[in-house]
Amino acid sequence: MKNFSFPRSTLEPCLEPCCNSSPCLDPCLNLTSPCPFRIINGACLATIGVLGVVLSLSVVGMLASRLVKLPERKSLFILNVATNDVFLSILGILRGVGLAKNLVSYKDHHGEPTLTCQIYAVVSSLFKNNLSWVLIPLTVDRFVAVVFPTRYTAWMTRRACILLIATPWTLLILLNIYDIITVMTGYIKLEYNPYQHKCMYNEQRKRIEPLVLLLVPMVAICFLYLAMFTVILRHKIKSSRFFISTSAIILTGLLSTVPEILISTFEVKTSYEVFMIFGVTFFYINGVCNPLIYLGSHQKFQRQMLTSQL
């Protein structure tokens, strides 16, 4: 596997000698004795994951049980994002605990990825890749409402909304099943990356997958929002509260995804600490931001939360 030439950490020296006298790939290679930064980072990541699960599950529960009654289209789109946030936050907990307590075994004594590491890599790819795709239905809904307001009711039917939500999930699940089959048969080989503390696909797949599954929907979202803002400014349309909240959700989703794409896919050179904070922790914090946006922008969520506490 290609060696990384990232600079040595300034916060913590290597805990074991580097192989072949090359620059250290990771300041915390010794998994039996984690360094302070990894313990703190793992604890923060696990805490963020727990908060994300609690908050996102609260949103799912309030909408599914109709404690918070929103129009059906809005409920479906928010449920779609919140459900993905729940699973993504669970993965954040596992990643954080694995970093802090070494409960996740990444490699065996031969340096090969363990079964646990491979399972985590395959499962996490589904919900991480879906992070951008769950934003597409929200964006299309607002695009039709702003650009084609007279046709919104006719176009955005219940069937159309379900189709918008189900199509990305179906395609990504099929891709995930393909991954499981190819990994089990040995057609695709996962490699342990000591710098990122996770199993990754081969070099070509590592570059293509984020570009297709993360970058393409991000470009599509930006294009649709550019068209929306053009119409809003031209006709001086007053933005609704739902438009503002969905825009905030989409913006946080894009911002949390960009750093990992830049660092992991394009191999932007950075220190280990910067990568773990912006490329990993920042990615999983999205599951906390979205529920807070719902609570901050929708009075129905606020009233229900106050009622539950009382």
Mind listing the pLDDT tens digit for each residue in 154-167?
999 999 999 999 99
pLDDT of residue 8: 37
pLDDT per residue as tens digits for the range 165-188: 999 999 889 988 888 888 778 777
Residues of the chain predicted below pLDDT 70: 1-35, 100-116, 192-210, 264-268, 297-310
All structural domains of the chain with their residue ranges: 32-309
pLDDT score of 32: 43
User: Quick one: CA torsion of 36, 45, 286, 25, rounded to 10 degrees?
Assistant: 50
CA distance 148 to 122: 40
Alpha-carbon distance of 295 to 310, in angstroms, equals: 17
Report the pLDDT value the prediction gives residue 53, as an integer from 0 to 100: 95
Give φ, ψ of 70 to 5 degrees.
Answer: -110, 160
Q: What's the rounded Cα separation, in Å, for the pair 172 and 211? A: 14
User: Hunting for tokens 């290597």 — which residue is that?
Assistant: 14
Among residues 138, 13, 6, the alpha carbon closest in space to that of 81 is found at 138
The pLDDT tens digits of the residues spanning 22-53 come to: 334 444 444 444 567 778 888 899 999 999 99
Cβ proximity of 109 and 152 under 8 Å: no
CATH 3.40.50.620 fits 32-309, yes or no: no
Q: How far apart are CA 197 and CA 227, in angstroms?
A: 40
